[in-house]
Amino acid sequence: MPLESVGSPLLWTGFIVFILAMLALDLGVFHRRAHEVRFKEAAGWTLVWVALALAFNLGVYLVFGSVPAMEFLTGYLIEYSLSADNLFVFLVIFSTFAVPAAYQHRVLFWGVVGAVVMRAIFIVAGVAALQAFHWVMYVFGALLLATGVKLLFQHSREEHPERNPLFRAFQRIVPATGEYHGQRLFVRVNGRTLATPLFVVLMLVEITDLVFAVDSVPAIFAVTRDPFIVFTSNMFAILGLRSLYFCLAGFVNRLRYLRLGLAGVLIFVALKMLVSEFYEIPIVASLLVVAALLAAAVVASLLARPAASGHTAVRPQVALDAESPR
């Protein structure tokens, strides 16, 4: 039978229009000119996105009641925290390809646009699968549990985004130049259209989100099956991720225990999903557990002594062949 949703067609349309309007305002007005995003600006935008999410959450509470509101808040917290794990990879990608600070926002902007589309597809597919096949819930639970356990025992992880098989296949197909050309993604050289390193970085960002979406999207189905709540909480988390990166870019290496906290979150939501047929963990308890795990990870990281070496090392810039696709 169809999954119930609090979202009417009018609400769906209004929220999608809101997303498009905010993205247009961001790129067309506030970030029309490429510039380095400083901490003060990033912190301001982070507060704006969190405030918008909380305001939306209040609206859900006033219109639909406490249960959908708690589901949204818990889902938003889970998705926001799991998306924060992307920050480590973004840091490595930008360091590996020596992306100028002034162009990093443009990359993440288009990365967010792609993420919005991919997450929407994942959510629609997940809802359809749960509606047609109840046992898919246990597949999601097993996937999250395996990911959480792996992350729990993976105390350190060195990222090599340029070794990703999808990225290597992309490099063989698309010819690229080895030099940046401002904030342009493509450039004409000797009559040929070549991708700039900025476009290559954008593709890596999109691949990264695709990989993380496999973990984060199923996680929210442990909290709610309402498509509107799933979609809106996911979108608010994704839209706020970009400003959070610039806010924490110089600080993210200090969060050495964040991965343990995220592992705990994944394991908890996996168990919640796996036992839901026999016992439904209250949504308030879920919110408190998730918040406690994340708070403990952040506090432990702040109290710990700085590591001798950072979480990620800046490696030499990856060379791109400007003459032929590899």
Radius of gyration of the chain (CA): 20
Q: Is residue 318 part of a domain?
A: no
Question: Which of 28-32, 81-85, 94-98, 308-312 bottoms out in mean pLDDT, i.e. has the lowest?
Answer: 308-312
Residues 283, 230: Cα–Cα separation, whole Å: 14
Q: Distances in Å between the alpha carbon of 178 and those of 181, 194, 201? A: 10, 10, 12
Looking at residue 111, what is its pLDDT? 83
How do residues 153-209 score in pLDDT, each as one tens digit? 765 554 555 565 656 666 677 777 777 777 778 888 777 888 887 888 888 888 777
Q: The domain containing residue 281 runs over which residues?
A: 9-303
DSSP secondary structure string for all residues of 118-139:
HHHHHHHHHHHHHHH-TTHHHH
Residue 322 lies in a domain: no
Q: What does the mean pLDDT of the chain come to?
A: 77
| pLDDT score for 30 | 63
Of 62-71, 148-157, 279-288, 293-302, the range with the lowest mean pLDDT is 148-157
Domain contains 4: no
When pLDDT is averaged across residues 79-98 and rounded to a whole number, the result is 75
**Residue 311 belongs to some domain of the structure:** no
pTM to 2 decimals?
0.74
Structural domain contains residue 324: no
Lowest mean pLDDT among 5-14, 79-88, 139-148, 188-197: 79-88
Alpha-carbon gap, residue 104 to 87, rounded angstroms: 13
- CA–CA separation, 241 vs 254, rounded Å? 18
Report the pLDDT value the prediction gives residue 50, as an integer from 0 to 100: 92
Structural domain contains residue 2: no
| pLDDT score of 226 more than 70 | yes
Helix (H, G, I), strand (E, B) or coil at 195: strand
Q: What is the mean pLDDT of residues 234-255?
A: 78
Asked if residue 59 has pLDDT above 90, the reply is: yes
Domain count for the chain: 1
What is the pLDDT at residue 253? Answer: 63
- Is 314 inside any structural domain? no
Q: What is the pLDDT of residue 85?
A: 67
Report if residue 32 sits inside a domain. Answer: yes
Tell me the average pLDDT across 212-238.
83
If one counts every other C-beta atom within 10 angstroms of the C-beta of residue 195, the result is 21
Q: What is the pLDDT, as a whole number, of residue 306?
A: 61
